[in-house]
Amino acid sequence: MKNGSMNLLRRAGIATGSVAILLLALAGVLYALFDEEKIKQELTQVVLAKTQRQLVISGPLELSLWPNVAVRLGRTTLSESGSATPFLAFEQARLSVAVLPLLKKQVSVDGAEIENLAATLIRYKDGRLNIADLTAGAPGQKVGAGETASAPLKLDIGHIRLAHARLVWRDETSGKTTTISDLDFSTGRLLADGERKTLSVEALRLMTEGDLPGPQGNDRFTLKLEVPQLAFSPEQSRSESLALSATLTGAGRNLAAQLTLSGLKGSPEAPEAAKLDFNAEGKQGATQFKARLSASLAANLAAQSFRLEPLAGRLDLVSPGMPMKQLQLPLRGQARLDLKQQTAALELGTQFDESKIDARLELAKFTPLGMNFDLSIDRLDLDRYFPPQAAGSAASAGTTQANAPSPLDFSALKNLDLTGTIRIGALKVRRLELARLDARLKAAAGRLDIAPVSASLYQGTANGSLGIDANDNGVVLRQRLNNVSIAPLLKDLLGKDVLEGRGNVTLDVNGRGKTVAAMKQTLAGNAALALKDGAVKGINLAQRLREIKAGLGSKQEVTQAARSSEKTDFAELSASFRIAGGVAHNDDLMLKSPFLRVTGAGDIDLGHERLDYLAKASVVATSAGQEGKDLAQLKGITIPVRLFGPFADPAWKIELGNLVTEAAKEKIEAKVSEKKQEIQQKAGDKMKDKLKGLFGK
C-alpha cells in the first residue's frame, strides 16, 4: 500500500513537471513567434478593410504570460469613417486573462483597464451618428445547417477600470456641444453566466464632470454613482442601495441633488425599491430653494413603465423678491410614467398660507406635448407673491405699457396640445378679486381657448370667453358682466376712480400685435354699458350750471382739470361703442338725473390713451327748492361740456359759445310771452265788459 502511494505521488509529480515543461515550452514558442510590428500592421489592414477607418498604434504592443495572459496596448487612435479626423484615442489599455478557464470556454479576466480615453460622438444634421457603421448589423452570427451553437459564455472579471476618459457629444441639429471632461468608472468583481442569465457586480462606481451649454455660457457639472453590490437573476434582483448625486454650477447659480434607492428587489425586468429618497438644493441669483421627496418605486423595464406611490415631500423657497420672503410647500401624491406609450400621470396636493391646492396632470403624448389637467384651489391671493408695485404704478400702468414695448410672445402655444379645467374658490390678482372662478381650457394648433369662463365679482357675475392665437398673435375677448358694482371694479382693475353705479357691461373685442401697444392700436369690436343709481366722477354738472347761471354776462369759456372730489349723480346711464383701429366711438350716450339729461358723442383712443368727447347737458326739470330755483333760468338750454386729454390726467371744458345769447333770447321770449298773455287777458276782460253792457247785465 505504501509503495502504491509512493508510485502515485511520483507519477503525479512527473505529470506536473511535464505540464510545467510544456507550458514553459509554449511560452517560449509564443514569445519567439510574437511579432509586434506585424500584428500592428495586420490589425490596421483589417480595421481599414472592414470599417474604412484608420487605426494607428503608435505605442507599444506587449504580451505577458505570467501570472496571466495579458495584452498591453500603448497610444492608439481610430479615425472617423473615410477620414483622417480622430474619432477615438487612448493612451493605454490592458487586458489580463486567466489561462486554464479558457480551456473550459470560460473567460476569467483578472482585469480590464483603459486610461485617458477620448472619443467624440456626433449627430449630423441629417440625423446620422458617426458610429452608425460600427453598430450596424446583427450582434451575433446565425447558426447554419450542420453547425453547432457555441456554449453560453461565462465571465469572471476581477475588476474593470476606465480612468480619465473624455467624451464629447456634438449635436449639429441643435448646434450644441456637451463635454464630459473627466470620467472614471470602476467595478470590483463582475460575474456573468450566459446559461443561467445571471449577473453580479461589486463596488460599482462612476464619477464624471464636464460642461453643459447654459444661458450665460457653459455650466460645470459633476455626477457620481455608487452601488456597493448589485445582483440579477431571472428570478430576482437585489441591491443594498444605489446612490446618485449631481452638482451644477454656472453664472450666478448652483444646484446639488442626491437620489438614493434602498431595499432593491424583484426581477431584472420588474425591479422595486422599498424607498426612493430625493433631495436637492440650489441657488439662482438671490433665490434659494430646497426640495425633498420620498416614495416607493415599482418599475417594469420591458414595458418601460415606472410608478411612484405614495409621494411625500416638501419644497422650501427663499427669495427677497417675494413679499413673504419665504415659501414652504408640503407635497403629497403619486406619479406614473410610461416611456413606451409616452404617457404620464401625476396627482399632487399641497398647501401654503391659506391655499389648499389639488392638481391632476395626465400626459397623453410627449411629442408634441399632449396634456390633460384639473386644478382646484380653495383660495389664492397672488398679490402676496408678486413684488410690490411702486406708488402710483396702478394709475399709470396703461401709460407705461403704451410707451414701453411690452412684448407679447405666444409661441409656446404652437407645440401645445392641452385640455383642462381650473376651479378657484376665491382669487385675488393685481388687486382684482373674483370668487367661484370656473374655466375650461383647450390648446391646439397654436391656439388657446378659455371657454366658458365664469366667476362672481363685485356683487355681480361674469361669463364669457378668451381666445389667444399664436399664429397671428391675436386675442379675442367676449365677456358679459351682470349687475356688477362698477366703482370698485375699475379701481382695482385700472386704478381709476371715475364712475359709480351698478349694472351690466358687455365686451366683444379683438386685436393682434407683437406688443401691448401694437395690439391696443388694432382693437376692434363692440362694447356697451348700462348702469343705474351712480355718478360720473371728475365734474359736478349741477354746480357748474349754477356757476354759469351766475355769470351769464361773461363770454369766457371755462376749462378745468377733472377733480376726483366732484361728481355728477345719475339715475340711469347707458352707452354703446363701436371700436376700430383702437378707437372706441360712441354717439348714443344717455344720462338721466332728476334735473338733467346728458347726451353725447365722441372718441376714446385706447391705443394712445386719450379721449375727445362732447357731452350736452340740459336742465329738464326744477323744483321749489333752492337748487331748482338756481337752475330754473337754464331750463331748456343745452350746455356743451367737452372732455379731453390723456386718461391719466383728463380735463373738461364748458364751451359757452352763444350760450349767453341763447339765454338772453330765452329770457326775452319768456317776457314777451308773459306780456302777450297779459295783453290777451286785458283784452278778454274788456270784451267781457262790453258784452255785459250790450245785454244789460
Q: Is the separation of the CB atoms in 643 and 654 below 8 Å? A: no
3 state SS of 303: coil
Element (H, E) at 532: strand 524-538
pLDDT at res. 398: 41
339, part of any domain = no
1, part of any domain = no
Q: How many domains does the chain have?
A: 2
As a whole number of angstroms, the distance between CA 542 and CA 108 comes to 107
Nearest one of 531, 535, 523 to 505, comparing CA atoms: 531
355, part of any domain = no
Strands (E), 366-473: 369-381, 416-429, 432-444, 447-457, 460-469
In this structure, the number of other CB atoms found within 10 A of the CB of residue 340 comes to 10
Nearest one of 349, 310, 309, 347 to 329, comparing CA atoms: 349
The pLDDT-based confidence of 336 (bands split at 50, 70, 90) is very high
Query: What pLDDT, in 10s, does the model give residues 652-667?
Result: 887 765 555 555 555 5
pLDDT at res. 382: 84
pLDDT at res. 673: 62
Q: Is the pLDDT of residue 391 over 70?
A: no
CB proximity list for 468: less than 8 A, separation 6 or greater: 410, 413, 447, 448, 474, 475
Residue that is last in its domain, among 209, 234, 259: 234
669, part of any domain = no
DSSP string, 636-689: T-EEEEEEEEETTS-EEEE--TTHHHHHHHHHHHHHHHHHHHHHHHHHHHHHHH
Exposed, middle or buried, 570 (CB in 10 Å: 0-12/13-18/19+)?
A: buried
Task: Assign 3-state DSSP to the chain and report helix, strand, coil percentages, each to 5.
Answer: 20, 55, 25
Q: Which three cell numbers, joined as nine digits, stand for 42?
A: 495586420
Q: Which of 90-94, 172-176, 509-513 has the lowest mean pLDDT?
A: 172-176
Name the phi and psi angles at 322, rounded to 5: -90, 140
Exposed, middle or buried, 143 (CB in 10 Å: 0-12/13-18/19+)?
A: exposed
pLDDT at res. 665: 58
Of 652 and 459, more confident: 459
Of all residues in the chain, what percent carry a pLDDT higher than 70? Answer: 76
Strands (E), 132-270: 154-157, 160-171, 176-187, 190-193, 198-214, 217-232, 237-250, 253-266
The pLDDT-based confidence of 558 (bands split at 50, 70, 90) is low
pLDDT at res. 332: 94
In 620-634, which positions are buried (b, 16+ CB within 10 angstroms) versus exposed (e)? eebeeeeeeebbebb
Q: Is the pLDDT of residue 32 over 60?
A: no
396, part of any domain = no
Residue that is last in its domain, among 234, 251, 272: 234
363, part of any domain = no
CB proximity list for 128: less than 8 A, separation 6 or greater: none
Q: Which of 200-204, 449-453, 562-566 has the lowest mean pLDDT?
A: 562-566
- Length of the chain in terms of residues written: 697
Which of the 8 DSSP states describes residue 139?
S
The pLDDT-based confidence of 393 (bands split at 50, 70, 90) is very low
Q: Is the pLDDT of residue 137 over 90?
A: no
409, part of any domain = no
3 state SS of 156: strand
As a whole number of angstroms, the distance between CA 545 and CA 547 comes to 5
Query: What pLDDT, in 10s, does the model give residues 615-627?
Result: 888 877 655 444 5
Instruction: Please give the residue range of the domain that contains residue 111.
Output: 29-133+152-234
Query: What pLDDT, in 10s, does the model give residues 315-328?
Result: 998 988 777 788 88
Query: What pLDDT, in 10s, does the model give residues 480-506?
Result: 999 999 999 988 887 888 889 999 999
Distance separating the N- and C-terminal Cα atoms of the chain: 191
In this structure, the number of other CB atoms found within 10 A of the CB of residue 38 comes to 10
Element (H, E) at 27: helix 2-33
Q: Is the pLDDT of residue 387 over 80?
A: no
Average pLDDT over the chain, rounded to whole? 81
pLDDT at res. 63: 78
Q: Is the pTM of this model over 0.85?
A: no
CB proximity list for 697: less than 8 A, separation 6 or greater: none
Exposed, middle or buried, 264 (CB in 10 Å: 0-12/13-18/19+)?
A: buried
Q: Is the pLDDT of residue 31 over 80?
A: no
249, part of any domain = no
As a whole number of angstroms, the distance between CA 681 and CA 607 comes to 63
CB proximity list for 514: less than 8 A, separation 6 or greater: 407, 408, 473
In this structure, the number of other CB atoms found within 10 A of the CB of residue 591 comes to 23
Name the phi and psi angles at 500, rounded to 5: -120, 160
Residue that is last in its domain, among 213, 234, 255: 234
Q: What is the mean pLDDT of residues 521-548?
A: 86
The pLDDT-based confidence of 225 (bands split at 50, 70, 90) is very high
Q: Which three cell numbers, joined as nine digits, stand for 567?
A: 361728481
Task: For the chain, state the CA radius of gyration.
Answer: 45
pLDDT at res. 113: 92
Name the phi and psi angles at 386, rounded to 5: -95, 150
Name the phi and psi angles at 24, rounded to 5: -65, -40
